[in-house]
Chain A
């Protein structure tokens, strides 16, 4: 990787503009004022009703972004973090909610205001192989945003491109090369230079290093860090690499199934996670919980965003789920099997049945004998109390006659709790305003962390 080689006059010009932007950023960063206020943002796909339920990619996300900070967004694949970034930028049309910047809702603007927002907010993409047009030279790529916005004169634009090339650590002669001729890290630098061209104040970084070699990742991260200091940028850093987020982010938002479940200062979240999902996610970092504590393995995969569970989105996999008092003595293994059975019923209820299957079910000739096998697989070696066993038997019977929805409903009613009933509110959990969406923060419930530990040791 090349390091920036500067000629005297360039240093001068770079220095001048840096000083200028730094001056403005300082005045804003020091106040810590809000740059973006995201309120109840929703993005549903296929919501025209033609293809059944919409995909609820982002489902009511609210947070604010302060000038000069880096907010990390972490979560599993498909939790909606990329969609969140794209919706904020206007690349996707928001279904509901608002994104307030400079006193206007950027999901609603058009015309000149929209052009202005496009200048202020930029994006760096995940895959540097496909985010650069191979048929254009590096110079043309970086220059294109300037051309699109008629930025000053042609001469100024070219000077600006050379300045940017230098700023991201490329060399001047790269101006006339094609993206093919660069390594992944260099290509990502080109993408960053393009994002910086219009002097934005806010950049969405969509997993900017996850496609790169580990050795290159650190350099790009350091570059981003340095650029933030120089230019007073505000980052929304989308990632699934938790250690990178800890390194670069001031605050972190943890997303699960279209919801932000916890948001707070990075160090606080990492050292003392409040939400059960955050606890499980962080325990996935090797060595993070020390030798004496087991990793918390989450059951199964996240539910389909087309059909999120009722109540808390995390209820199907939560290691700290509130359980009904009467079943308090049930073993962990039994609970795990019950949750798995519930997941099976839900999945079956949502699966597309063929016409033939439906006809057979109507004629009473069900092909669903495999439910019994599932029951044996899950509860075979378990010693269940009789009342639990009979509930499960009834549910299995319902499923066998084709009523998967009824079976899932029965398990939900019998073994469900407050977690299945209502979406938890934001609960502020520390002095810095960190919030976590879990009912266990309410009075009368044990803390999620404590519950997880107790159950793990049972």
Chain B
């Protein structure tokens, strides 16, 4: 074993802060660049968080519309953000000689591409910089020259399929966080209140003002070549539609970008809740075994015995009028139902490894010197299950996204007009064989891609954690929960 004969002075055992202060250069550079990168887009990040918070608070009756949050949201809107639609606008009109109102007089499509390109370049730069930070921490500040996690990271780095998954998942996250900025238009102007907003367009001989709603009526995709705005094209009002329009004439890309928010929030919430429940129960049942384990087996079997789809339909209908049913357009209830019915499957996946770890001698050793049960579960069992948590979590997340899309395809779940991918697929199903094929196909492909990405990431993490389980052999133990509700 190659162990460098480096000797440690007492001082090297200091806290991280002291180690940094002894060699502050890398840390300062990293923090400085990070702060600069974050400041560029602070507005977008704050907007996203406040939006989620505001939506939740608004739905709770006792609280209502919290003025403080509204003020914050307005304040966040005023935070100068470099890569926003304000600094790089793509909405404008042709006045006969040139484009007015777009970024540097570019065509709306070009301006939009420029903005989206910059946003993704920025995001990947941020990701790379985070990696640099980890790498510098390893070389400059970490005292251990090797940890078991290093091997996991190294294996993940050379796992092509897993990296593909990571890239897809990351791009999906960027789409979610920067949804307002990457959309060609805004939810308010195009989807929610089109008749309350106006726009200017070039009629061919002069400019004219029109409500967005009227413009949408003229930009519908109805399946005929005459009435269709396909992907990557302009409608007759000079608006660029990267993914074309919906049958109602609304912009599909904007719809999808904001629908991704709902999908991811439901997914994260339901997976987060069910994973926490499953994890705690797995640790407790594996540690105490016997009657505790048996009772959890019985409860989980009972929950698994309930028909999930019927439960979903029943609860969404019953709760639709109540305050909890209104939170996030019904998405919150969906997340709770997914979590409530999904934890037994996860618990079963965690129970095996948890039982295995609880039989290890180091658990006995900890009991022997009087470590408390919670500390034993946390320090000696949990680290061996977090890997499984990531694997099953990412795969279940993909399943949840499919399930939500499936439900809204059936007209259940998230209430209109809140955008949701499944509703776009549903809206386009009459036009699949016509020139408006894009309405169903593009969201469908995106759903498949994102879910595949989450599964690929799960595969990659599993292989990285346990190199002995190859993807071919491990099918049975870690199947993603796809197929909808």
Contacts and interface: CB of A to CB of B under 8 A. Distances in A.
Contact of A177 (B3, B10, B360, B372): B3
B370 A130 contact: no
Contacts of B6: 173
B interface, size bucket: 20 to 34
B445 interface: no
Contact of A122 (B144, B361, B364, B368): B368
Contacts of B367: 91
Interface stretch (B168-176, B218-226, B327-335, B379-387): B379-387
A180 B365 contact: no
A194 B365 contact: yes
B45 interface: no
A302 B8 CA distance: 53
A132 B371 CA distance: 14
A404 to B, nearest CB: 34
A135 B149 CA distance: 9
A167 interface: no
B62 interface: no
Given A115-B370, A130-B361, A144-B371, A137 B379 contact: no
Nearest to B149: A135
B144 A131 contact: no
A178 B369 contact: no
A149 B370 contact: yes
Contact of B8 (A145, A172, A183, A191): A172
B144 A148 contact: no
B147 A178 contact: yes
A218 B380 CA distance: 31
A135 B383 contact: yes
Given A134-B148, A177-B3, A178-B144, A148 B371 contact: yes
Interface string B1-20: 10101111010010000000
A119 interface: yes
Contacts of B360: 130, 133
B146 A148 contact: no
A181 B3 contact: yes
Nearest to B382: A135
A123 B3 CA distance: 29
B35 to A, nearest CB: 30
Given A118-B369, A125-B365, A133 B380 contact: yes
A136 interface: yes
A176 B379 CA distance: 17
A133 B7 contact: no
A173 B368 contact: no
Contacts of B5: 173
Given A133-B379, A135-B383, A158-B13, A122 B362 contact: no
A198 interface: yes
Interface in B98-144: 143-144
B37 interface: no
B410 interface: no
A45 interface: no
Given A119-B370, A173-B6, A181-B3, A137 B144 contact: yes
Interface in A225-262: none
B8 A123 contact: no
Contacts of A176: 8, 143-145
B366 interface: yes
A198 B369 contact: yes
B314 interface: no
B368 A132 contact: no
B377 to A, nearest CB: 13
Contact of A123 (B7, B147, B368, B380): B368
Contact of B368 (A89, A133, A180): A89
Contact of B372 (A123, A148, A178): A148
Interface string A115-127: 1001100110111
Contact of A194 (B8, B13, B369): B369
A175 interface: yes
Interface string A146-177: 00110000000010001000000001110111
A158 B12 CA distance: 12
A328 B148 CA distance: 68
Give the interface centre of B3, B366, B368, B372 by most chain A CB atoms within 10 Å: B368
A44 B143 CA distance: 48
B368 A118 contact: yes
A191 to B, nearest CB: 8
Interface in B361-415: 361-362, 364-372, 375, 379-380, 383-384
Interface string B272-284: 0000000000000
Given A123-B368, A181-B146, A136 B3 contact: no
Give the interface centre of A126, A132, A173 by most chain B CB atoms within 10 Å: A173
A155 to B, nearest CB: 10
A125 B8 contact: no
A144 B366 contact: yes
Nearest to A123: B368
Nearest to B142: A176
Contacts of A91: 364, 367-368
A149 to B, nearest CB: 7
A173 B9 CA distance: 9
Interface string A43-77: 00000000000000000000000000000000000
B368 A148 contact: no
Contacts of A132: 362, 365
A416 to B, nearest CB: 40
Give the interface centre of A118, A119, A158, A198 by most chain B CB atoms within 10 Å: A118
Interface string A85-98: 00001010000000
B365 A177 contact: no
Give the interface centre of A119, A131, A135 by most chain B CB atoms within 10 Å: A135
Contacts of B369: 118-119, 122, 144-145, 148-149, 194-195, 197-198
A194 B371 CA distance: 13
Contacts of A134: 148
A172 to B, nearest CB: 5
B144 A177 contact: yes
A312 to B, nearest CB: 33
A130 B361 CA distance: 5
Contact of A175 (B13, B365, B375): B13
B365 A135 contact: no
Contacts of A136: 379
Contacts of A137: 144, 147
B148 A125 contact: no
A361 to B, nearest CB: 35
A173 B8 CA distance: 5
Contacts of B148: 134-135, 178, 180
A122 B7 CA distance: 31
Contacts of B146: 177-178, 181
Nearest to A130: B361
A131 B143 contact: no
Given A127-B361, A198-B369, 6 more contacts: A137-B147, A172-B8, A175-B8, A176-B144, A191-B365, A194-B365
Closest 3 CB pairs of A and B: A118-B370, A145-B369, A131-B361
30 contacts: A91-B368, A114-B370, A123-B365, A125-B361, A125-B364, A125-B365, A126-B361, A130-B362, A131-B361, A131-B364, A131-B365, A133-B360, A133-B362, A133-B380, A133-B383, A134-B148, A135-B148, A137-B147, A139-B13, A144-B371, A148-B366, A148-B375, A149-B369, A149-B370, A175-B13, A178-B146, A181-B1, A194-B365, A194-B369, A197-B369
